[in-house]
A = this chain, B = another copy of it.
């Protein structure tokens, strides 16, 4: 499965969240990561993030795509990530 992750967390926890996300996904842009991930790792990542964030203050969205056949990504302006477009 393909995951697009967008986080909105307190500055105090950004580094920790980002570090965790980077273990599984590629950084795309400020607050955005994406990549192919197994179902098992996806569950693991979600659990790990739940432990790091504050439920009443932070928010992390996971868009999961079972296939990328019907999706694409376009960037207007600066392409901040150096990794190739996987979508």
Contacts and interface: CB of A to CB of B under 8 A. Distances in A.
Contact of A77 (B53, B64, B72, B78): B53
A31 interface: yes
Interface in A20-56: 28-32, 46, 49-50, 53-56
B6 A63 contact: no
Q: How many copies does the complex hold?
A: 2
Q: Interface residue tally of chain A, by bracket?
A: 35 or more
A76 B63 contact: no
Contact of A76 (B50, B69, B79, B80): B50
Interface of A: 4, 6, 8-9, 28-32, 46, 49-50, 53-67, 69-80, 87
